[in-house]
Structure 1
Amino acid sequence: MVSLAINVDHVATLRQARGISEPDPVFAASLCELAGAQGIVVHLREDRRHIQDRDVRLLRQTIKTKLNLEMGATEEIIGIALEIKPDMITLVPEKRKELTTEGGLNVAGQKKKLQEVIARMDKAGIPVSLFIDPDSKQINAAHEVGATFVEIHTGRYCDAATEALRDKEFGLIATAAEEAYEMGLRVNAGHGLNYLNTRRVASLGTIEELSIGHAVMARAIFVGLDQAVREMLALLPAG
Structure 2
Amino acid sequence: MTNLSVNINKVATLRNSRGENMPDVVRFAIECEKLGVNGITVHPRPDERHIRRSDVIQLRPAVKTEFNIEGYPSAEFIKLVLTVKPEQVTLVPDAPDALTSSAGWDVGANMEMLTETVEKFRDAGIRTSIFVDPDPEAIKLAAKTGADRVELYTKPYADAYASDREAAVAPFVEASRAAHGCGLGVNAGHDLSLANLAFFHERVPYLNEVSIGHALISDALYLGLPATIAAYRECLRPAAPAE
Query: Which shows bigger deviation, 90-99 or 61-70?
Result: 90-99
Counterparts of 1:53 and 1:86 in 2: how far apart (Å)?
13
1:144-192 deviations in Å (ceiling 9; x for gaps): 111101011111110127523x432310011000100111001111110
Task: State the partner residue of 1:202.
Answer: 201
* Aligned-pair CA distance for 1:98: 2.8
The equivalent of 2:177 in structure 1 is 178
**Residue 123 and residue 13 in structure 1: after superposition, are their counterparts in 2 closer, same or farther (change >3 A)?**
same
Instruction: Give, in angstroms, the shift of residue 17 of structure 1.
Output: 1.7
1:66-96 alpha-carbon deviations (Å, 9 max, x no partner): 0000011100110010011011100001123
Q: Is the 1:41–1:68 Cα contact (8 Å) retained in structure 2? A: yes
State the Cα deviation string for residues 93-141 of structure 1 (Å, max 9, x = none): 1123432111112212100001110111111111110010000121011
Q: For 1:190, give the aligned amino acid.
A: G
Counterpart position of 1:85: 85
> Any stretches of 5+ residues in structure 1 without a counterpart?
none
Letter in 1 for 2:177: E
| Distance in 2 (alpha carbons) for counterparts of 1:205 and 1:195 | 19
2:101 is aligned with 1:101: yes
Residue 47 of structure 2 corresponds to: 47
The total of aligned residue pairs comes to: 238
For 1:144, the equivalent position in structure 2 comes to 144
The one-letter code sitting in structure 1 at the alignment partner of 2:197 is: T
1:12-27 aligned at under 5 Å gives the runs 12-27=12-27
Instruction: State how far apart, in whole Å, the 2-side matches of 1:96 and 1:167 are.
Output: 35
Higher mean alpha-carbon deviation, 122-131 vs 12-21, is at 12-21
| CA root-mean-square deviation | 1.4
Structure-2 separation of matches of 1:11 and 1:143: 33
Paired with 1:49 and 1:138, the residues of 2 have a C-alpha distance of: 30
Take 2:16 and 2:166, find their aligned partners in 1: how far apart are those partners? 38
Report the Cα distance in structure 2 between the residues aligned to 1:8 and 1:28, rounded to whole angstroms: 8
Structure 1 SS opposite 2:237: coil
Q: What does residue 121 of structure 1 align with? A: 121
SS of 1:110's equivalent in the other structure is: helix
Task: Find the aligned partners of 2:159 and 2:200 in 1 and give their Cα distance.
Answer: 14
The letter for the 2-side match of 1:201 is: F
Equivalent position SS for 1:56: helix
TM-score (norm 2): 0.94
TM-score by length of 1: 0.95
Match of 1:33 in 2: 33
Q: Distance in 1 between matches of 2:143 and 2:62?
A: 32
Measure the CA separation in 1 of the matches of 2:186 and 2:54. 29
Mapped partners of 2:185, 2:103: distance in 1? 20
Larger displacement relative to structure 2 (197-206 or 29-38):
197-206
How far has the Cα of 1:237 moved from its partner? 2.1
Per-residue CA distance 1:189-222 (angstroms, 9 max, x = gap)? 1110000100012122311111111111001112
**Conservation of the 8 A alpha-carbon contact between 1:35 and 1:227:** no
Extract structure 1 runs of 4+ deviating beyond 3 A. none
Equivalent residue number for residue 189 of structure 2: 190
SS in 2 for 1:49: coil
- Alpha-carbon distance, 1:238 to partner: 3.4
